[in-house]
């Protein structure tokens, strides 16, 4: 009896013998977990590279390098450029399109719009797939709970045909139902943690980009006046 109960409570047996609906719930949660882990690792590398490249470019910018030299190096580089570098290229490139006699306010408005457009594109790239992690983190527990409710319901329905119920009759059904809950939490918890961490990282980068845009605008403003 104990051997049979132990066999009936093995993970493989519980999953393979679960109802089709519960198996579909488990499959959805498994796919959501695998996709979220893929985006978690991918986003980690993307943000880490974005911070490193921005640090390198900002160091070059504030060491007093000539802006024309920085622009030529950025536009002619065959290597991966940073988001901050692309914002600089957009602003300085727009600045160079205007004649020296152009009105300063009009020229600077055009420069800021060019940088703002590039800034928004870069932020869209950095924030890509974060909404997926948020969705997995918020929805997975409910999907798992749906499988749990369905499994427990089937477990109690099966008791209607049994004159004397024991723990051996209800344990497998309840156990398979709780597996769905566990899978929902397994998918949700890493996604929520990663989402909160990456939102904080992207906000820090956004603050750096905005500060750089203001500082570059001041530099170009002084250059236009001189």
Mean pLDDT of 120-134: 94
> Per residue in 186-198, pLDDT tens?
999 999 999 999 9
Mean pLDDT of 173-177: 74
- Where are the strands (E) in 20-152, listed by range? none
Query: What is the pLDDT confidence band of residue 161, given thresholds at 50, 70 and 90?
Result: low
The pLDDT value given to residue 3: 43
Tell me if residue 66 falls in helix, strand or coil. Answer: coil
Q: How far apart are CA 25 and CA 117, in angstroms?
A: 42
The pLDDT value given to residue 123: 94
Q: How far apart are CA 159 and CA 180, in angstroms?
A: 21
Residue 50: which of 85, 23, 96, 78 has the closest Cα? 85
Residue spans of the domains in the chain: they are 2-225
All residues at 6 or more sequence positions from 85 whose CB lies less than 8 Å from its CB, including other chains? 53, 54, 57, 74
Percent of the chain scoring above 70 in pLDDT: 81
């Amino acid at each position: 009896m104990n051997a049979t109960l132990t066999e009936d409570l093995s993970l493989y047996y519980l999953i393979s013998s679960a109802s089709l609906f519960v198996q579909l719930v488990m499959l959805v949660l498994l796919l959501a977990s695998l996709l979220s882990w893929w985006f978690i690792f991918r986003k980690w590398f993307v943000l880490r590279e974005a911070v490193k490249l921005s640090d390198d470019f900002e160091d070059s910018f504030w060491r007093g390098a000539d802006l024309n030299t920085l622009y030529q190096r950025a536009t002619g580089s065959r290597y991966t450029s940073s988001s901050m570098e692309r914002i600089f290229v957009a602003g300085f490139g727009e600045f160079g399109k205007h004649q020296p006699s152009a009105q300063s306010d009009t020229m600077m408005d055009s420069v800021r719009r060019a940088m703002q457009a590039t800034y928004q594109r870069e932020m869209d790239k950095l924030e890509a797939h974060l909404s997926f992690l948020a969705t997995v983190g918020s929805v997975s527990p409910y999907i798992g709970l749906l499988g749990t409710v369905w499994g427990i319901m089937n477990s109690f329905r099966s008791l209607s045909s049994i004159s004397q119920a024991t723990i051996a009759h209800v344990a497998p059904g309840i156990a398979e139902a709780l597996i769905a809950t566990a899978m929902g939490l397994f998918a949700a918890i890493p996604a929520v943690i990663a989402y909160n961490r990456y939102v904080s990282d992207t906000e820090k980068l956004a603050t750096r980009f905005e500060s750089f845009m203001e500082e570059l605008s001041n530099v170009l403003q002084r250059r236009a006046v001189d």
